[in-house]
A and B are shown apart, each in its own frame.
Chain A
Amino acid sequence: MAQTRTATKAHGGGHGMIGASTRVRGRITGDGDLTVDGHVEGDITVRGDLIVGEGASVTSNVDAHSVTVSGTLDGDVTARGAVRIAAGAKVRGTMQGEHVAIEEGAEFAGRLDCEFELPPELMGSTSSRKRS
C-alpha cells in the first residue's frame, strides 16, 4: 500500500515518477524533474530534467531542461541543457539541445539541432552545409 511521504524538492517543484507498469495517455506538465519507467503517449513539458528509463516507452514531444534517454523515445526533443542518448536507447525525432551526446550502442534516427561554433578550419569547406 502506498505510504505518505514527502517528495524531494528540485527546481522549485516536486519530482514526478511514472512507474514501470503505468501508462499515461495525455499531457504532462511540471516545474520539477520527471522520471518515466512506464509508457507515456502525449507531450511532456517539465522545467527540470527528464529521464526516460530503460524499458520505458515515450511517444511525446518533449520540452525539458535536460533529457536522458535509456529507453524508447519517439518525438521531438527541445532541451535547454544536455540531451544524452544512452547505450540501448532507441530514439526517433529531432533533438535540440545545448549538448547532444549519443552513446555507443544507442539507436538514433532523426535530426540533431545543436548550436556550436565550428572550428575555423572547417568553416570554409562546409559553407554549403546548413548550420543551425
Chain B
Amino acid sequence: MASTIIGAGITIEGEITTDEDVLVQGTVRGKLNAKDGVVVEHGGVVEADVTGGPLTVSGSVTGNISSTDRVDLQPGARVVGNVKATRITIADGAQFKGNVDMDV
C-alpha cells in the first residue's frame, strides 16, 4: 500500500519529496522526488519532472522521468518527456514521445 496518495480530485502544485511509495490518482504539478515506487494511475496527471525507484504509468506524465529501477508504461499511458531508467517497458496502447536513456 502506498504511503502517500494523491487521490482523484486532489491537486498539488509544488514540490513533493518522499522516501515512501507514491500513488497519483489526481494531479501533481511541479516536482516529484521519490526514493521508492511511483504509480501514476489511469486518470492521474503529472506535469512534473519525476525521480524515483520503480515507476508505473497508466495515466499521463508530462516531464522528464528518471528512475533508479524500471519504468513501465502501461496501456493508456501518455508520456511526453525523456525517460532515464535501467529497464523500460512500453506496452501496446501506451503513448510515448521523448528519448530513452538506458545507461548502457
Q: Which residues of A contact B (CB under 8 A)?
A: 1-5, 7, 12-32, 34, 38, 42, 46
Question: How many A-B contacts if CB must be within 8 Å?
Answer: 119
B37 at the interface (CB under 8 A from A): yes
Which residues of B lie under 8 Å from residue A3 when comparing CB positions? 1-2, 39
Contacting pair B38 A2 (CB below 8 A): yes
Which residues of A lie under 8 Å from residue B8 when comparing CB positions? 7, 13-14, 32
Min CB distance B18 to A, Å, is 4
23 contacts between A and B (CB under 8 A): A1-B54, A2-B23, A2-B38, A2-B39, A3-B1, A4-B56, A7-B7, A13-B10, A16-B10, A17-B2, A19-B2, A23-B15, A23-B16, A24-B16, A26-B13, A27-B11, A27-B12, A28-B13, A30-B11, A32-B10, A34-B10, A38-B4, A46-B10
Alpha-carbon distance A30/B27, docked complex (angstroms): 10
Q: Which residues of B contact A (CB under 8 A)?
A: 1-23, 25-26, 30, 36-39, 41, 53-54, 56, 58
Alpha-carbon distance A67/B25, docked complex (angstroms): 23
Alpha-carbon distance A23/B12, docked complex (angstroms): 12
Which residues of B lie under 8 Å from residue A29 when comparing CB positions? 10-11, 13
Which residues of A lie under 8 Å from residue B23 when comparing CB positions? 2, 4-5
Contacting pair B25 A7 (CB below 8 A): yes
Contacting pair B11 A2 (CB below 8 A): no
Going nearest first, the 4 A-B pairs with the smallest beta carbon separation are: A26-B14, A14-B7, A13-B9, A19-B3
Min CB distance A7 to B, Å, is 5
